[in-house]
Amino acid sequence: MTRAVSELVNDRGNWKGGRRVVPLTLVRDEIEFPGYMLESEETKLLELGGTHAGGGDYRFDDDESMETAIGLLTATCVECLRELMAGQEEARRFRGGAMTQLNFGRIDRCSVRLNTATLLGLKAAYEDFAKTGQDLRNFEICIEDESEATADTTPEDHVISVTFVAKMPPGMRGLGNASPLGTSIQYVVSPETGEILGVYLTK
């Protein structure tokens, strides 16, 4: 990938920016060299004598230009690149008004529609959480589709997690989710029935 992409991948603070990463392939006769670049970098390849051959292909007619174009590329963490591109694609779908279907319901650009099983699971999780005597005002609620949060999913990941996450006092940091305001609790919920399948303390 180009160095600009590598710098973007390594700077998470700019991941939400408008610089979109796209795949490319440099072509010289029968040689193909795949990589990634920012959309704004296309002019660099054209200035080197490359011809846009459609899609992400850029064709070169001499070895020197091809080698110079390859010299624009560098290595980076594959998992980081995958995460960055997935995040950008998700942001693109939201900007376009598309809805995302998850186990717990549908997410639109500015709304969430929870299905019945999730509501039943939330109700059951809250009733169990209330038995601990902890103050709900000291917690945030996180609902997650575990099958979407895991790269290599298994049947066991086809569940919803409802986590009561203890807040941290202003200006204070803790180890993981450890907080003096309470103990975080995760409930694993069936996406079909809303039944609680497991309860775990989290740190």
Q: Give pTM, 2 decimals.
A: 0.48
Which residue ranges form the domains of the chain, and what is each CATH number? 3-95 (no CATH), 105-201 (3.10.450)
State the amino acid at position 114 in one-letter form.
L
Q: What is the mean pLDDT of each run of 10 residues along the chain (203 residues)?
A: 59 55 83 78 84 86 87 59 62 56 64 85 94 92 76 71 87 64 91 92 71
